[in-house]
Amino acid sequence: MIYKRSSALFAEAQKVIPGGVNSPVRAFKAVGGDPIFVKEAKGAYLYDEDGNRLIDYINSWGPMILGHAHPPVVNAVIEKARKGTSFGMPTEIETKIAELAVSMVPNIDKIRFVNSGTEACMSAVRLARGFTKKDKIIKFAGCYHGHSDSFLIQAGSGAVTFGSPNSPGVTEGTAKDTLLARYNDLENVESIIKSNKGEIACIIIEPVAGNMGCIPPVKGFLEGLRSLCDAHDILLIFDEVMTGFRLAKGGVQELLGVDADIVTFGKVIGGGLPVGAFAAREEIMNHLAPLGPVYQAGTLSGNPLAMAAGLAMLTELNDNAGIFDSIDKKTEYLHKGIAKVLEEKKVVHTINRIGSMISVHFSENPVVDFESAAEGNNETFKKFFHGMLNQGIYIAPSAFETWFITEALTYDDLEDTIKAVSITVESL
């Protein structure tokens, strides 16, 4: 495929935007080459500035569960925009989507809308600290909760060592209150809690990881975290920015039957517009201003366009529970097809899948945490990425990202994707 126009646009963008992009992974640094500039999208397809059609497997990193430019969502936004785009005042639609979300998700009484997943996770941690009156948090290596300072922490010298900043601009003072644990390692978490007895406000986790590839929790891991939190008066936060309203109507809490104390949302809940949310039982949420002392605010929070898109999206998912079964079956079909090709071609690989999230790791060992994900052959992934792109298939430009499947994909699209894998692996 030819990408002259995209390359030219990238050169122009770099003159006025740092790195030419407004989010780093878009720059193709992990895979090489110039990023693709999208002109429009419809259903399961992207159409770039050079006129190429691509089958899309990132779907705006998750929210397009029903496909791009889904008519009910688009129509809802257009209708709302005609009446004004922002007021900075309460609107009825905020209550409507809040009522629907609370009815769909188990174990929550109230929800507050913000403008991004980062803001939702940042607010959830602040709320947890305010509620428990404790400062420290536990997060997991490889789990991404946005770019708030508390979350940009890498591993220290041992399991109970304080974290150190992973980005310039994050202070040591912030880092000292973030403790880093290993995903899917309950004993590691327990040892950190024992070493910081009475000081930990919350554990925040992607209950299904999506930022080191798709990594589901091993049996008993989430249940174990719930028990540890109960035993030590720690709040458990599920970051369901990716998984909420995607893996099930009620997200991972419903799918796996484990309750969190606070849940964060994004992606699907906004129907593709910038939005996030965090929710909990009433006792916790009532600690937020104006009812309680924990301050959180946002001029564009509850923006009517985002609320209209989100309400249209959630309404369709709520009214048609068969969507989740359909999309899960498509993901399973893709999984089996890709696995068969890679096995026949004797390509070393591991495929992780849960619901409509899937990732291909070029590793011979099970991928269960960040350390095992990092063992994958990145050079093979780079070749695989560009080979698939040349066949008209767009996957995440990083070995550490999940693929998101959309209901708009047809089985012909899935077959075309499997054929593209067969052609691509010949050159690996």
Q: Tell me the catalytic residues.
A: 144, 239, 267
Nearest Cα to 270, choosing from 319, 324, 309?
A: 309
> What token pair was written down for 280?
């909990």
Helix axes 92-104, 304-319, angle to 10 degrees: 30
Residue with tokens 């996030």, as numbered in its chain: 276
| Secondary structure string (H, E, C) spanning the chain | CCCHHHHHHHHHHHHHCHHHCCCHHHHCCCCCCCCCCEEEEEECEEEECCCCEEEECCHHHCCCCCCECCHHHHHHHHHHHCCCCCCCCCCHHHHHHHHHHHHHCCCCCEEEEECCHHHHHHHHHHHHHHHHCCCEEEEECCCCCCCCHHHCEECCCCCCCECEECCCCCCHHHHCCEEEECCCCHHHHHHHHHHCCCCEEEEEECCCECCCCCECCCCCHHHHHHHHHHHHCCEEEEECCCCECCCECCHHHHHHCCCCCEEEECHHHHCCCCCEEEEECHHHHCCECCCCCECCCCCCCCCHHHHHHHHHHHHHHHHCCHHHHHHHHHHHHHHHHHHHHHHHCCCCCEEEEECCEEEEECCCCCCCCHHHHCCCCHHHHHHHHHHHHHCCEECCCCCCCCEECCCCCCHHHHHHHHHHHHHHHCCC
In sequence order, the β-bridge partners of residue 140 are: 181
**CB atoms closer than 10 angstroms to residue 323:** 17
